[in-house]
Structure formats: structure tokens, C-alpha cells
Amino acid sequence: MTLGPYESFIVTSYALVGAVVVILVIWIAADYRRQKARLRELEASGVTRRSGRGAADIS
């Protein structure tokens, strides 16, 4: 596959989209872990939800 004289524009476009999508995925996954860890810390310190359910239990 040859991309012609504007190869750098094409490759930069795809690389940028890939990088932003990967950053979004990592950011959302890291945020999920952070919120779960905070909930576990709070539960370990004795704070519980009014329902009595585990706040970090989402299943």
C-alpha cells in the first residue's frame, strides 16, 4: 500500500485518532478503579449506604 505524496497527513490523522481513543479508554478505566477504591476505603472506615448494600458492589 502506497500513500503517495501526502503520506504524512494520512499517517498523522490515523495516529492522532488512535492516540486519543487510547487516552479516552485509559482515562475511563483509571477513573473506574479510582472510584471503586474510594468506595472500598469509605466502607472500610464504617460508612455504609442507607440500603445496607455494598457501595462498591455493582453486579
Partner 1 sequence: MTLLDLANPTRFLSLTAKILPWLAGATAVLLAIGLYQSAMAPDDYQQGATVKIMFIHVPNAWLAMFVWGVMSVAALGTLVWRHPLADVAAKAAAPIGAAFTFLALVTGSLWGRPMWGTYWEWDARLTSVLILFLMYLGLIALWRAVEDPSRAARAAAILTLVGAINLPIIKFSVDWWNTLHQPASVMRIGGSSLDRAFLIPLLVMAIAFSLLFITLHLAAMRNEILRRRVRALQMMQAGKPAA
**Contacts with partner 1, residue ranges (CB under 8 A):** 1-7, 9-10, 12-14, 16-17, 20-21, 24-25, 28-29, 31-32, 35-36, 38-39, 42-43, 45, 47-49, 53, 55-56, 58-59
Nearest approach, Cβ of residue 30 and partner 1 (Å): 10
CB contact set of 10 (below 8 Å; sequence gap of 6+): 3
**C-alpha grid cell for residue 42?**
469509605
In what helix (H) or strand (E) does residue 22 lie, and over which residues does it extend?
helix 7-44
Nearest approach, Cβ of residue 46 and partner 1 (Å): 9
